[in-house]
Amino acid sequence: MTAGQMLLDAAANAGYQGMMTRSLGPQIRGGEAAAFLRLSAHEVACPGDGVDILISFDWASTQRFSAEIELGPDSLVLFDPAAGAAPEMILNTGARMVDLPFKALLDDIEGGRPNMLGLGVLAGLIGLPENAVLAIVERALKRKGPKALEASSAGIRAGFEASAAMPATCRLGAGEKGARRWNISGNEAVGLGALRGGIRFVAAYPITPATEILEWLAPNLEHLGGELVQAEDELASINMAIGGSFGGIPTLTATSGPGLALMLESIGLSVASETPVVVVNVQRGGPSTGIPTKSEQSDLNIALYGLHGDAPHIVTAANSVSDCAFTAQWSVYLAEALQSAAIVLTDQLLGQTRAVVDEPANSGHVAARETAPAGLQDYRRYAVTESGVSPMAIPGTAGGEYVADGLEHSPIGRPSSQAEDHLAQLEKRQRKLDQFDYGDHWADIEGDGDTAVITWGSCTGPVHEACDRAREAGIGVRMVSLRLLAPMQTVKFAKAIKGVKRVLVVEQSHSQQFYRYVRAHFDLPKKVKVCARPGPLPVRPADIYEQIVNWS
Amino acid sequence: MQAQEARTPALLPKDYKSDYKPIWCPGCGDYSVLSSITRALSELGVKRENAAVISGIGCSSRIPAYTSLYGFHGVHGRALALATGLKIARPDLTVLVTGGDGDGFSIGGNHFLHACRRNADLTYVVMDNQVYGMTKGQASPTTASQWEGSKLTPHGTGVSPFQPMAVALAAGANFLARGISSDPKGVAQLIVEAVRHPGFSFVQVLSQCVTYRPEQQEWRTIARPSHKEPTSNIARAGRRILDDDGFTTGIFYVGNRPAYLAPEETDKIVSDIEQRFMI
């Protein structure tokens, strides 16, 4: 992991873009871990199709990830012959096996470590300048003293030397320096988007793979005069967030599937009491505890349909690492403007991937809740307005005293079981979501043609890349990636797929959750294919390309 | 010399009441607790707009609507979490939490423990009637184990009753008191002290349920005020609580733990924070 991170940082400094996804075993500390890097002189939207170079530090660990490591005849596999013979399953891929005698090469280097040697070899093979790598290592190891730094630097130099004798493999083209590039993970980007949108209070309970959002937010909220509370459980998290928001402060909680399940009752409270709140769900494999460290898009149903009663709310989804910043910021704006709950879906792949990307622009969306001024007479908190949004009095505002309630209520906020009040409030809460102008942000639409690929979330990266390849091959294809999942933008969506004859739906769930949701709203063209696969294996561009090209 | 602050005329207890008629049964102890709360607010001189009453679900959790303050009537069991969020986000407000024994000690039991631990500056008034009234008379966590009055537990619960004061003390509450609804002035005074004391203050009020526990009307004859001074010694408070039959009223414990406080310094803006992502 450390070496992977350094390689990404060195590439970033040399003007390249890229990303590092990680795959871990269930161990608390140590245990097997795999770092997957993809580097390029251009934008990298997703993990690639196959592996060009694999370094195996030990076969037992490597084998645990074999399903995630796509090797072929063009792949190089570097390994230490002293670690024993390569397993059949690796040899059967036809990959070229290259000796990398860690032990022998590190013999003369006091304190030399295999991962630094590996880093040097990799950097040498793909053509990263040695100085760029050494500079990163120096920065990273400054605090560990000159001895540790010398050992690592020597290991890296030995790696570069060893790489010169190895077979040629893919090399990076010229990097482009100068652009404003960031090195950021999806989870950090969510945190940043939240702050940009105006979130100043967060309550949450640790859960994989969402915890990094909280770890990033805790100190940074403090810098801004805000606060993060580690709650006793998710039931408390969501209620603390709603309580803070009732106090007039934009609030957020972040969790993963099991935590979202616990929060549902109170997300309904946010909807019924019209108290804005943002809930980020970093999806992982489910159901139940599922696969906590790996990605899946199978919480779509619960996010859309999990609330009891008729509870219209907002569901958004980030579709790239850098879009995590935009979607989180926009969702804060929506929740606050609409005085409702916004569930923001990302997933383990987006959240825990570290990417080198162009600076995610600040969209300018900022929490702007419609509040009631002081000195009101006969204030009606839940006044039935044309827009459906009614001004909210914030505690401290004289004349605005009201009781927020999960019970159905009359316009002044008194509990009511009258049919008339129920209908008026149901329609008000639906209307404010339906009438709002979401602009062009509801989806990312690219390209044109007879074929449309409809997708969402982290599948957007591989779909985007597959569509690019199809266009290069002369096939017209349109990509529609939905950022606003609820309320569904039926008119805009119909327009976006107008004239399309074939539709491919791509998602990472076993039960075709997304396809069924889209289908419930539209009569899709007759020719529909669904590429729905569960996690944890990533959806690869080549698989989607294949489906676009071979339409049968 | 500081300029004299313009004083608003003092509000009377009735100014803190709404004109909304409670759903409670005639003779319910909660009427009296509502009066104690408004009396305490009047004595404290809190401005209506600067106080909030937070509750969950149950008979006594209806209180926010019967006040003229800001309020939140949330979901069952989560009042303390709602209130904690509000208080930490808005430390300038006076935040009261009201509810019953089922809401606070059963479905909300975990939040009770952690609210005591966290010690945010809240005052939690629990109207304990040892029964679920709103769902028509089931055993609650504080019901005696042999009580056979519910169809749900025809042979009694067979479970030891929850000891709210002992649990609160062990969990770290900073102020512990018990009152009884038949003594509204006494309860009002306990609430005044509880609000004034920093940190998490817990006031258990024995509040009779005339409908499902008519025998509780005898409580007024059993309860008696403590003649001991409140202690800040946790071991002494523990002994007093554990030795008691649950009918002694008064202040049992006054701790000196500092209240949970959020840091208030602001030393950056968002664009400063972004710098660290730049390559």
Instruction: Give A27-65 as a 3 state SS string.
Output: CCCCCCEEEEEEEECCCCCCCCCCCCEEECCCHHHHHHC
Query: For A193-257, where are the E strands, in sequence order?
Result: 201-204, 227-230, 251-255
Residues A219 and A232 grouped into a single domain? yes
Say if CB B194 and CB B266 are below 8 A apart.
no
Chain A within 8 Å of B3 (Cβ-Cβ)?
Answer: no
Q: Quick check: B75 and A239 CB within 8 A? A: yes
pLDDT at B2 over 50: no
Q: What pLDDT digit, counting tens, does each position of A348-402 carry?
A: 999 999 999 999 999 999 999 999 999 889 999 999 999 999 999 999 999 999 9
DSSP H or E run through A160: helix A146-163
Residue A181 confidence (pLDDT):
93
Chain A within 8 Å of B73 (Cβ-Cβ)?
Answer: yes
Q: Quick check: B75 and A192 CB within 8 A? A: no
Q: Quick check: A183 and B48 CB within 8 A? A: no
3-state secondary structure of A123: helix
If one counts the domains in chain A, the total is: 4
Residue A66 confidence (pLDDT):
87
Which residues of A fall within a CB distance of 8 Å from B273? 192, 195, 220, 223-224
DSSP string, A337-392: HHTSEEEEEEEHHHHH-EEEEEPPP---------BPPSS-SS--TT---SSS---B
Q: Please give the Cα distance from A200 to B264 (Å, whole number).
A: 12
A415 closest CB neighbour out of B65, B77, B274: B65
Q: For residue A469, how many other CB atoms are within 10 A of its CB? A: 16
Quickly state the pLDDT bin for B7 (edges 50, 70, 90): low
Residue B9 confidence (pLDDT):
67
Superfamily, domain B13-277? Thiamin diphosphate (ThDP)-binding fold, Pyr/PP domains (3.40.50.970)
3-state secondary structure of A520: helix
Chain A within 8 Å of B48 (Cβ-Cβ)?
Answer: yes
Q: Which domain holds residue A474?
A: 440-549
A404 closest CB neighbour out of B72, B83, B268: B72
Residue B10 confidence (pLDDT):
87
Is the residue at A384 inside a domain? yes
Q: Of A101, A133, A163, which marks where a domain is finished?
A: A163
Chain B nearest-CA distance from A534, in A, is 32
Instruction: Give B118-174 as a 3 state SS string.
Output: HCCCCEEEEEECCCECCCCCECCCCCCCCCCCCCCCCCCCCCCCCCHHHHHHHHCCC
Q: Please give the Cα distance from A29 to A31 (Å, whole number).
A: 6
Residues A444 and A429 grouped into a single domain? no
Q: Please give the Cα distance from A314 to B18 (Å, whole number).
A: 34
Say if CB A253 and CB A238 are below 8 A apart.
yes
Q: Quick check: A229 and B88 CB within 8 A? A: yes
Which residues of B fall within a CB distance of 8 Å from A396? 49-50, 90, 92-93
Residues A351 and A419 grouped into a single domain? no
Dig out the tokens for B53 from the structure: 């009453």
- Percentage, residues of chain A above pLDDT 70: 100
Residues A51 and A116 grouped into a single domain? yes
Question: How many inter-chain contacts (A to B, CB under 8 Å) are there?
Answer: 177
End-to-end CA distance of chain B: 55
Say if CB B40 and CB B48 are below 8 A apart.
no
pLDDT at B81 over 90: yes
CATH code of residue A194: 3.40.50.970
- Which of A245, A403, A408 is the best mutation test for B, with the most CBs of B within 10 A? A403
Residues A393 and A415 grouped into a single domain? yes
Residue A322 confidence (pLDDT):
97
Q: What pLDDT digit, counting tens, does each position of B157-180 carry?
A: 999 999 999 999 999 999 999 999
pLDDT at A483 over 70: yes
Quickly state the pLDDT bin for A183 (edges 50, 70, 90): very high
Question: In this structure, which amino acid lies at residue A482?
Answer: L
Residues 100-159 of B with CB under 8 A from A: 110-111, 113-114
Chain B nearest-CA distance from A524, in A, is 41
Say if CB B22 and CB B31 are below 8 A apart.
yes
- Residue A454 pairs in a beta bridge with A480, A505
Q: Quick check: A395 and B78 CB within 8 A? A: no
- Which of B46, B82, B124 is the best mutation test for A, with the most CBs of A within 10 A? B82
3-state secondary structure of A228: strand
Whether cis (ω within 30° of 0) applies to the bond prior to A287 is yes
Dig out the tokens for A439 from the structure: 């602009």
A240 closest CB neighbour out of B84, B265, B266: B84
Q: What pLDDT digit, counting tens, does each position of A422-440 carry?
A: 999 999 999 999 999 999 9
pLDDT at A447 over 80: yes
Residue A345 confidence (pLDDT):
99
Residue B3 confidence (pLDDT):
45
Nearest-by-CA chain B residue for A398: B49
Residue A376 confidence (pLDDT):
87
Which residues of A fall within a CB distance of 8 Å from B86? 243-244, 246-247, 395
> Which residue ranges make up each domain of chain B?
13-277
Segment B222-229 mean pLDDT = 96
Say if CB B115 and CB B85 are below 8 A apart.
no
Beta-carbon contacts of residue B21 (< 8 Å; ≥ 6 apart): none
Say if CB B260 and CB B118 are below 8 A apart.
yes
Residues A205 and A354 grouped into a single domain? yes
Chain A nearest-CA distance from B243, in A, is 31
Nearest to A201 by CA among A233, A236, A247: A247
Query: What's the angle, vertex CA B115, arms to CA B110 and CA B117, rounded to 5?
Result: 100
Residue A28 confidence (pLDDT):
77
Residues A431 and A444 grouped into a single domain? no
Segment B39-47 mean pLDDT = 97
The ipTM (two decimal places) reads: 0.97
Quickly state the pLDDT bin for A552 (edges 50, 70, 90): low
Segment A311-340 mean pLDDT = 98
Say if CB B114 and CB A205 are below 8 A apart.
no
Is the residue at A365 inside a domain? no
Q: Quick check: B277 and A184 CB within 8 A? A: yes
CA atoms within 13 A on the CB side of A373: 1
Nearest to A333 by CA among A298, A368, A294: A368
Segment A520-548 mean pLDDT = 94
Quickly state the pLDDT bin for B238 (edges 50, 70, 90): very high
pLDDT at A445 over 80: yes
Is the residue at A175 inside a domain? no
Q: Quick check: A229 and B65 CB within 8 A? A: no
Residue A375 confidence (pLDDT):
85
Residue A170 confidence (pLDDT):
86
Residues A426 and A448 grouped into a single domain? no
Chain A nearest-CA distance from B98, in A, is 14
Chain A within 8 Å of B54 (Cβ-Cβ)?
Answer: yes
Quickly state the pLDDT bin for B1 (edges 50, 70, 90): very low
Chain A within 8 Å of B84 (Cβ-Cβ)?
Answer: yes
Q: Please give the Cα distance from B157 to B134 (Å, whole number).
A: 19
Q: Quick check: A395 and B93 CB within 8 A? A: yes
Q: What pLDDT digit, counting tens, does each position of A83-140 carry?
A: 889 999 999 999 999 999 998 999 989 988 999 999 999 999 999 999 999 999 999 9
Which residues of B fall within a CB distance of 8 Å from A397? 49
Question: Exposure of A29 by Cβ count < 10 A (0-12 exposed, 13-18 middle, 19+ buried)?
Answer: exposed
Higher pLDDT, residue B49 or A108: B49
pLDDT at B23 over 70: yes
Chain B nearest-CA distance from A178, in A, is 10
B274 closest CB neighbour out of A192, A268, A401: A192
Q: Of A97, A132, A163, which marks where a domain is finished?
A: A163
pLDDT at B181 over 90: yes
CATH code of residue A544: 3.40.50.920
3-state secondary structure of A221: helix
Residues A112 and A243 grouped into a single domain? no
Q: Quick check: B86 and A247 CB within 8 A? A: yes
Nearest to A184 by CA among A297, A325, A295: A325
Residues A329 and A461 grouped into a single domain? no
Q: Quick check: B71 and A404 CB within 8 A? A: yes
Q: Please give the Cα distance from A107 to A279 (Å, whole number).
A: 52
> B170-183 b/e with 16+ CB inside 10 Å = b?
ebbbbbbbbbbbbb
Residues A471 and A405 grouped into a single domain? no
3-state secondary structure of A280: strand
Residues A110 and A241 grouped into a single domain? no
Q: Quick check: B82 and A242 CB within 8 A? A: yes
- Sign, CA dihedral B138-B143-B145-B147, equals negative
Q: Quick check: B85 and A239 CB within 8 A? A: yes
